[in-house]
């Protein structure tokens, strides 16, 4: 069991659908991350929220829309995705730092949502 919970575990959607991925942690962490992982590849950073504010957007297409409604929750809203967006989407959290100098903090990962676009 991980301390970062992601739902759903699997999601199949059409290219015209709108869906959301959810991530929750109750460790009091203030930094939360979204990663995308294609098969047999390392995770790629998509977004970082620090103290509920978006601090990094790694040039992700606008069909992916992140949201951090409070310090425990992180959502990823999906709309008009393409087949190449099929991947494992991982959420992670770390304690956070108001000066964004959190590079010495371990990240805690969830087990991901496996997304398939038809």
- In angstroms, the CA 32 to CA 68 distance is 9
CB 72 to other proteins: min, Å: 18
Of 63 and 108, which has the nearer Cβ to other proteins? 108
CB 1 to other proteins: min, Å: 11
Cβ atoms of 75 and 66 within 8 Å: the answer is yes
Of 15 and 51, which has the nearer Cβ to other proteins? 51
Of 81 and 92, which has the nearer Cβ to other proteins? 92
Residues whose CB is less than 8 angstroms from the CB of residue 20 and which lie 6 or more positions away in sequence, other chains included: 75, 76, 77, 78
Of 13 and 45, which has the nearer Cβ to other proteins? 45
CB 32 to other proteins: min, Å: 13
CB 2 to other proteins: min, Å: 7
Which residues would be at the binding site for other proteins (CB under 8 A)? 2, 4, 33, 41-45, 48, 55-56, 90, 92, 100-101, 103-104, 106-112
Residue 32, CB half-sphere, CA atoms under 13 Å: how many? 31
- φ, ψ of residue 94 to 5 degrees: the values are -150, 165
Cβ atoms of 8 and 111 within 8 Å: the answer is no
């Amino acid at each position: 069991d991980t301390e970062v919970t992601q739902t759903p575990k699997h999601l199949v959607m059409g290219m015209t659908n709108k869906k959301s991925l959810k991530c929750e942690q109750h460790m009091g962490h203030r930094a939360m991350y979204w990663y995308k992982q294609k098969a047999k590849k390392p995770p790629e950073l998509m977004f970082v929220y620090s103290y509920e504010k978006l601090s990094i957007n790694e040039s992700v297409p606008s069909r992916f829309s992140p949201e951090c409604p409070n310090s425990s929750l992180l959502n990823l809203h999906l709309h008009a995705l393409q087949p190449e967006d099929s991947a494992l989407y991982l959420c992670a959290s770390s304690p956070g730092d108001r000066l964004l100098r959190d590079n010495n903090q371990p990240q805690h990962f969830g087990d991901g949502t496996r997304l398939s676009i038809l």
